[in-house]
Structure 1
Amino acid sequence: MPKSRLAAATLLALCATAATALADDEALKKLQGFQSTGGDPVIPQVDQSGKKAENLKALASKIKVPDGFKVELYAVVPDARHMAVGNNVGVVFVGTRKTKSYAVTDRDGDNIADEVKEFAPTIAKRNPNGVCFTPDGFLYVVEHNRILLFPAAEFFYENPDVAVEVISNEIVPKEEESFNHGARTCVVGPDNKLYITLGQPFNVTPKEKRPLYDKVGLSGIIRMDRDGKNREVFALGVRNSVGMAFKPGTSELWFTDNQVDGMGDDIPPGELNRATKAGQNFGFPWYGGGKIRTKEYEDEQPPAGVVAPEVEFTAHAADLGMRFYTGSQFPEKYQGGIFVAEHGSWNRTKPVGARVMFVKLKADGTADKPEVFADGWLDEKTGRYLGRPVDVAIALDGSLLVSDDLGGAIWRISKKD
C-alpha cells in the first residue's frame, strides 16, 4: 500500500476509534440520567437452534460425570466466560473477553435457557469478563480497566438502554493496560465491599515494576466500597487470579491462581488459596507456584509470612472460576465444597485440564485433595479441545452451570431424576 493511502487509512481508523469513544461517552451520560440513547430497541439474540446447538448437544454425551448426574446444553452463548446468577428470576449474566455480555433466560421453567440476548448493547465494552451481583440485586460488570454498575439489572435487562453508573474509569494505570492476564473477576464480600482480581501482565513481574504494582494491587486483589471509594490492596503475591468466592458464613476469601509458564510440563502447580485477612502475601513472584522458586527471584528473600496454597493443582491446567456449592440438589458429599473450572493448558507437551474439579473441605475448614468431577472436553487421543470450561455457577435450582468459551456454551450438570 502506498504511504499516502496507508496514512489515510490510519487517520480514518483513529477517527473511527475517537468517534466510538465519543458515542460511548454520550451513551453513558444519557443512561446515567435515565434517558434513552435512541439506539435500536430490538436487542440482538443468539440462535438457540440449528447445527451449532445440535453439535453441542451431541458433545454433552461425551462429558463424564459421577453416577447419578447428567450433563445438558443449557444455552448457546458466544465466548461465554464468567457468570452471575440473578437473585430472584435467575437470569444468568455472562461476561466475555471481547466486546459483548449476555443475559440468559429460562422463560418456561424447564431448566434449559430459551433466550440469550446481548446485555446493555448501547454501551461499548472492552473485555467485560467480570460479572457479580450484590445481595440486594445490583450487577457489577468489571471490564479490563473500567467498572460499571447496573441497578436492578435482572428486571430491566430486556431494554437495550439499561441504567448504569460508572464506578471507575481506571482500575490500573493506563500505561499498564495489557491484553495479557487482563480478564478481571469480582465478588461482593460479607463486608459489603467490592473485590476485584488484578492479574499482572507478565510471566514473571520485572523487578522495576514491583513498587508500582504493589501500590495499585497488580499481582493481587483489591477491594473498595460499592461506590468505588476507599480503594485498598487486599492481597498481594497473586500472579493471575481469574476466580474467587467467599466461603459462606465467613470472611474467608478463596481464589484460584494461574502460575508461571516455561518452567516445564509438571511444574509449577496451579493454586487454590485462602485469604483469612487483609494484607496477606501469597508468594509470587518469588514463587512460581506452590514451593517452586522462580529463577528471576531465586536470589531474593521472600516476604515473611508467605501464605502457602490450600490446594496444588496439576501444572498448567489453568484453574479459573470457582464457587462454593450452596445448593441443595447435590448429595451431601458436595455440600459446602468447592467446584473449580480448569480451562486447559496451552503450553504443555501433553495437554491437561478442560474439566471441572471438586474440592471437599475438612472438618477443620482446610481443603482436602482435589478430584475430577466432570471431564471429556479434552480428547486425550488427539489432544484436541472440544470445549474449555471457564467458570462455574450455582443455578437457583441447585444445578451447576459451566461456561465454555471455546464451544460458546453454558452446560448444566444436575442430579438425575
Structure 2
Amino acid sequence: MDILAKATALVGGTVAALRRIGAPTTQAMGGTPEIPEAKKQGIMTLKMPAAEGWKDGRLPTCAPGLKVNAFAEGLDHPRWIEVLPSGDVLVAEASQIETPPKTLLDRAAHATMKAIKAMGNSANRVTLWRDADGDGVAEHREIFVENQSQPFGMAVVGDTFYLGNTDGIVAFPFPPGTTRLDESAARKLVEFKPGGHWTRSLIVSPDGTKIYAGVGSLTNIADEGMETEEGRAAIWELDVATEEARIFASGLRNPVGVAFEPSTGALWTVVNERDGLGDETPPDYLTTVVDGGFYGWPYSYWDRIVDDRVPQDAAAVAASICPDYALGGHTASLGLCWMPEGTLPGFGEGMVIGQHGSWNRSKLSGYKLLFVPFENGKPSETEPPRDILSGFLSEDEKLAYGRPVGVCLGADGKSLLMADDVGDVIWRVTGA
C-alpha cells in the first residue's frame, strides 16, 4: 500500500469512526422510509474494505433452503450476465478506468477504489460459458467478443446482438449457433458520453420492439454543470425497427439494473443516489420508470427534498416523481432481475437486487443479494425484503470476500446466476 493509500485509510477510518457515533441505527427502506436530515460532509466519508476474495473454501452465506456453488471462476472483474436462448451464459468483464485526479479528494477516492479492485485495467470483453453436462458448473469457456469499450449490458433480438459499451450501443450480426461475434461487422446505433458512472445496462421490451438502456451521470450532483450531464442520468429507449433513440426518463442519478414486472408490463430500475449527505441520506431506490418521467436529480431526492448544494430549478423539483421503494443509503444497488414464483424454494415472486456495497458511509451497507417480494405488481407492504446471499463482508468490515453485481435467471428457470467482481466468480443459487 503506497503512502497516499495509507493516509487515505487512516483519515477515512478516523472520519468514518467519528461519524459512526451519530449514525442512524436503521436503514431508510420501504415505500415510506425515514430519511435523516441531510448533513453536508466537508470531507467526504471514504470507507472501503480491502479486496480479499474467496479463500480456503469460504462461500457466500445462503438463505435457509438454498445452496450456492461457483458456476464459473477465474474471470477478470465480471460485471453483467446474459443467458442466451441456447442456454450459454455470457459474462461482460470490464472495470472503471482510472482518469487523472483533479483534486486531493479524487486522489483519495482513487486509492480507496483500488483497494477494493473497483478501478484498474479493463478486460473489455465478453466471454461465453457453457455447462454442457448440466451439473451447474461451466466447463467450457471462450471469447465471445473483445476489444470493446467497457462492455456491460447485453441483449438479443432475432438475429442481432446488442452490446452496451460505455460510449454507445453497438449491434452485431448474430445468426443461430454464433459463439463468437464478428467485430468488423459491428454498427454503433447510439452514442453515449463515456466515463463517470460508466455502466450501460440493456433490456428488451416484452414485445421485442424496444431496448432500454441505463446511463448514469458524470458526477455526484452535476458538479461540472448541467451541460456536461446532457444525455446522462437517464433511461434511454432504442426503437429496434427504426434504430432511432431518445431519452425515455430522466433525473435518475445512476440507473443501473433494469427489469420488467410481467403482470403490469412496467419497467423498473435500481438507482444509486448522491453522496455526501450522510449514511442514510438519501437512500438508493427501486422504482418504476414512466415515459417522460423526471425523478429529481440533481435538484432534489426522494419526495422533492431539495439538495441546496445544487443551483435550483423549482419547476423541475415540482414535476419530479417520488420513487417507489427505498433500499437504504449507499447500498450501490446494481443488479436487477425479476424472479417468478417457484424459482427458489421459500421465495415468491419479486425483484432480486445485487447490492455491490457502500463506500460513502461510516457503517458499511449492501454487500448482499437481496430479494424484494412483490404483490399486485408492486413491492409488498406486508412482507419485508430478505437476503438470498450474504457473507460478502467480514464482521469487522475490513475485508470484502466479494461484491455482488449483475444477477439473472439461470437457463433452467430454477436458479439464479450472480456476478461477483471481487471474487472474480459467477455464483449459482438453487434450492438445497
Equivalent runs, 1:17-96 vs 2, <5 Å: 55=54, 58-60=57-59, 63-76=60-73, 77-96=75-94
Of 371, 382, 391, which aligns to 1:358?
A: 371
Q: Which residue of 2 aligns with 1:21?
A: none
- Matched AA of 2:215: L
Greater helix content: 1
Q: Which residue of 1 aligns with 2:164?
A: 142
Of 110, 116, 131, which aligns to 2:135?
A: 110
Equivalent runs, 1:14-413 vs 2, <5 Å: 55=54, 58-60=57-59, 63-76=60-73, 77-97=75-95, 98=122, 99-121=124-146, 124-134=147-157, 136=158, 138-152=160-174, 155-157=177-179, 159=180, 161=182, 164-168=185-189, 170-172=191-193, 177-178=194-195, 180-191=196-207, 192-206=209-223, 208-210=225-227, 213=229, 216=231, 218-226=232-240, 229-275=243-289, 277-289=290-302, 292-297=305-310, 299-301=312-314, 302-326=316-340, 328-331=342-345, 333-335=347-349, 337-363=350-376, 365-368=378-381, 369-397=384-412, 398-413=414-429
| Structure 2 CA distance for aligned equivalents of residues 154 and 405 of structure 1 | 30
Q: Which residue of 2 aligns with 1:45?
A: none
CA contact (8 A) 2:335 2:405 kept: yes
SS of equivalent to 2:62:
coil
* Aligned pairs, number: 347
| Structure 2 CA distance for aligned equivalents of residues 85 and 129 of structure 1 | 14
Quick check: which has more Rg, 1 or 2? 1
Q: Any idea what the Cα deviations from partners look like across 1:58-92, whole Å, max 9, x if unmatched?
A: 222xx222211001111012211011111233333
Cα drift, residue 95 of structure 1: 4.3
- Matched AA of 1:244: V
| Structure 2 CA distance for aligned equivalents of residues 288 and 156 of structure 1 | 44
TM-score (ref. length: structure 1): 0.76
- Matched AA of 1:309: P
| Structure 2 CA distance for aligned equivalents of residues 259 and 266 of structure 1 | 10
For structure 2, list consecutive stretches of 5 or more residues without a partner in the other structure. Answer: 1-52, 96-121
Greater CA drift, 242-251 or 298-307 = 298-307
CA contact (8 A) 1:392 1:403 kept: yes
Cα drift, residue 246 of structure 1: 1.3
Cα drift, residue 209 of structure 1: 1.8
- Matched AA of 1:231: A
| Structure 1 CA distance for aligned equivalents of residues 258 and 405 of structure 2 | 12
Q: Which residue of 2 aligns with 1:44?
A: none
Q: 1:226 to 1:93 in 2, by over 3 A?
A: farther
SS of equivalent to 1:156:
coil
| Structure 2 CA distance for aligned equivalents of residues 140 and 186 of structure 1 | 8
Greater CA drift, 104-113 or 233-242 = 104-113
| Structure 2 CA distance for aligned equivalents of residues 363 and 188 of structure 1 | 22
| Structure 2 CA distance for aligned equivalents of residues 206 and 381 of structure 1 | 34
| Structure 2 CA distance for aligned equivalents of residues 92 and 68 of structure 1 | 28
| Structure 1 CA distance for aligned equivalents of residues 176 and 392 of structure 2 | 31
CA contact (8 A) 2:256 2:270 kept: yes
- Matched AA of 1:167: K
| Structure 1 CA distance for aligned equivalents of residues 312 and 187 of structure 2 | 43
Q: 1:88 to 1:118 in 2, by over 3 A?
A: closer
- Matched AA of 2:70: L
Q: 1:55 to 1:171 in 2, by over 3 A?
A: closer
SS of equivalent to 2:430:
strand
SS of equivalent to 2:68:
strand
Cα drift, residue 292 of structure 1: 4.2
- Matched AA of 1:363: N
Of structures 1 and 2, the one scoring higher in RCO (CA 8 A, sep 6+) is 2
Cα drift, residue 378 of structure 1: 0.9
Cα drift, residue 225 of structure 1: 1.4
Cα drift, residue 234 of structure 1: 0.3
- Matched AA of 2:192: I
| Structure 2 CA distance for aligned equivalents of residues 228 and 274 of structure 1 | 25
Q: Any idea what the Cα deviations from partners look like across 1:10-39, whole Å, max 9, x if unmatched?
A: xxxxxxxxxxxxxxxxxxxxxxxxxxxxxx
TM-score (ref. length: structure 2): 0.74
Greater strand content: 2
For structure 1, list consecutive stretches of 5 or more residues without a partner in the other structure. Answer: 1-53
SS of equivalent to 1:103:
strand
| Structure 1 CA distance for aligned equivalents of residues 159 and 58 of structure 2 | 34
- Matched AA of 2:174: A
Output the aligned Cα RMSD: 2.5
Q: 1:221 to 1:367 in 2, by over 3 A?
A: farther
Q: Any idea what the Cα deviations from partners look like across 1:356-387, whole Å, max 9, x if unmatched?
A: 11111123634544332211011122431110
Q: Any idea what the Cα deviations from partners look like across 1:248-279, whole Å, max 9, x if unmatched?
A: 2543110000011111122110111112x310
Q: Any idea what the Cα deviations from partners look like across 1:150-178, whole Å, max 9, x if unmatched?
A: 33377211x47467431336223xxxx32
